[in-house]
Structure 1
Amino acid sequence: MEGTYGSEWPSEEKIKRREMVAPEARYILTCQYTDNDIAKCFMKQDSGVECAHVTCRGGRLLGFVHYRFIVEEDVPVLYVYELQLESSAQGKGLRKFLMQLIELIACKSQMWAVMLTVQKSNTDAMFTYSVLQICNIQYLAITSGSTGITLPRKIVSTRTRYSYV
């Protein structure tokens, strides 16, 4: 994540570490497996041994989404804290897929919106969010309390297809 945060990473690292291990943190991990890894997994399932398909044992971690269910101004939302992808996984539609999965999770969990914060310099992510027709982009400059550095960011949100009936 150091590359994402640049010079302010040393001060942000402690905050991120606390956020990532909080009990309310939820994760989606994306892994790359070889055909051999997949075959072993199916053989284990057939033999009655529990398959560890939800972890990255034997596979290579390509990225993750860290999200939480929160209430923002009296509105239940799914807030994406981090969406990180290895460079080898970028530009292949994985970010779009993960955001669609996040929206589905939000709908099934009766959340009214999906929210996230994006650094203005992350043009690839902003392009993906525009393709997904995410609306209500607010420009925001966040000042880090520990360094005093102002970081240009965008708050991005979209209403889910869920509605109270």
Structure 2
Amino acid sequence: MDFHNADHSSANSKKLSSKEKKLKRREELAKKKAVDEAIKAAYLKDDHLADFPAFHIYDRNGLLVHLKSGSGEHLSSPMKRYIQELLKVNMEGVYGPQWAAEEKIKRREMVSREALYIFVQSLQSAQLDSINNREAMHKCYWTGNGDPVVAFVHYRFIVEEEIPVVYVYELQLEQCVQGRGLGKFLMQLIELIARKNNMRAVMLTVQKRNTSAMNFYTSKLRYTVSNISPSRVDPLIGAEKSYEILCKTFAHEAKTKLEEDGCSGAN
């Protein structure tokens, strides 16, 4: 046996292995940089709604509203109160005893500089009074140009499992405008915003007790339970958790990391 050649071959193998590691590391860094730049570029835009003029007005099913963009760090005091009120009306029952602690978290989240909003304002305020009894609509705080806000979406651009995504923190509608296609319209807009800004998926968290919301996302919008959701990571742990993480992916890598079996990770 030629030990010299064997040693030389071994050295080349180690050198090749080292080169491969450096190359892989370089690729990983380049990929991370691209993801970070995509998130940064998305946040540099002042108004994501401006890219989609067809979504500025919703006039269907007896509902006439207009949409506008906003940000957490520029919320007016009336708008903050409005969001807090609507969240409490819609979510206190779903969270049950956990609501007191959850409400504090949501209040901090809603004013973060990373928080982006789509606000929905009614163009038929007089009609709202005539076609709905007052029990169906909690007290609205009048904001902006005087049109009452009847729904909002709070979303952010973040990274999940090395994938740039739009995460929907809140989608909240007044009871009087529910069931008219507005929620689906808003989620379609969010998905367009995600694609336009090179995000690879839309994700959100739903409380298990909120069966109507779960059905809305999974049946009507075809979202799936993500493999980073507790129930997919570990069924035993998932059984103890009160929520599921849902997703809709737009790219193969996102589907592999966020939807398919065998690639689970912690959230």
Letter of the aligned partner of 2:99 in structure 1? W
Residue 96 of structure 2 is aligned to residue 6 of structure 1: yes
Which residue is equivalent to 1:62? Answer: 150
Contact 2:225 2:244 in 1 (8 A): no
TM-score, length basis structure 2 = 0.47
Tell me the CA shift for residue 56 of structure 1.
Answer: 4.5
CA distance in structure 1 between the aligned counterparts of 2:252 and 2:147, rounded to whole angstroms: 35
Alignment size in residue pairs: 137
Tell me the CA shift for residue 112 of structure 1.
Answer: 0.4
1:61-100 equivalent positions in 2, closer than 5 A: 61-100=149-188
CA distance in structure 1 between the aligned counterparts of 2:171 and 2:199, rounded to whole angstroms: 19
Question: What secondary structure is seen at the aligned counterpart in 1 of 2:199?
Answer: coil
Tell me the CA shift for residue 86 of structure 1.
Answer: 0.7
Larger-Rg structure? 2
- Going from structure 1 to structure 2, the CA distance change for 1:56 and 1:121 (only over 3 Å counts) comes to farther
Q: Which whole-Å deviations, capped at 9, do the CAs of 1:108-144 have from their partners, x for residues lacking one?
A: 0100000000011222222221211122446537xxx
Alignment gaps of 5+ in structure 2: 1-86, 127-142, 232-239, 254-267
Question: What secondary structure is seen at the aligned counterpart in 1 of 2:108?
Answer: helix
Residue 152 of structure 2 is aligned to residue 152 of structure 1: no
* Aligned partner of 1:134 among 209, 219, 223: 223
TM-score, length basis structure 1 = 0.73
**Off by >6 Å, runs of 4+ in structure 1:** none
Contact 2:109 2:115 in 1 (8 A): yes
Tell me the CA shift for residue 13 of structure 1.
Answer: 1.7
Letter of the aligned partner of 1:101 in structure 2? L
Which residue is equivalent to 2:121? Answer: 31
CA distance in structure 1 between the aligned counterparts of 2:157 and 2:207, rounded to whole angstroms: 21
Contact 1:33 1:58 in 2 (8 A): no
Which one has more relative contact order, counting CA pairs under 8 Å at least 6 apart?
1
CA distance in structure 2 between the aligned counterparts of 1:9 and 1:67, rounded to whole angstroms: 21
- Going from structure 1 to structure 2, the CA distance change for 1:70 and 1:33 (only over 3 Å counts) comes to same
Question: What secondary structure is seen at the aligned counterpart in 1 of 2:242?
Answer: strand
Question: What secondary structure is seen at the aligned counterpart in 2 of 1:58?
Answer: coil
Q: Percent identity?
A: 53
Contact 1:31 1:60 in 2 (8 A): yes
Which residue is equivalent to 1:46? Answer: none
Question: What secondary structure is seen at the aligned counterpart in 2 of 1:66?
Answer: strand
CA distance in structure 1 between the aligned counterparts of 2:174 and 2:121, rounded to whole angstroms: 10
Decide which structure has greater helix share.
2
Residue 199 of structure 2 is aligned to residue 111 of structure 1: yes
CA distance in structure 2 between the aligned counterparts of 1:56 and 1:87, rounded to whole angstroms: 22
Tell me the CA shift for residue 7 of structure 1.
Answer: 2.3
Which residue is equivalent to 2:112? Answer: 22
- Going from structure 1 to structure 2, the CA distance change for 1:151 and 1:88 (only over 3 Å counts) comes to farther
CA distance in structure 2 between the aligned counterparts of 1:33 and 1:112, rounded to whole angstroms: 34
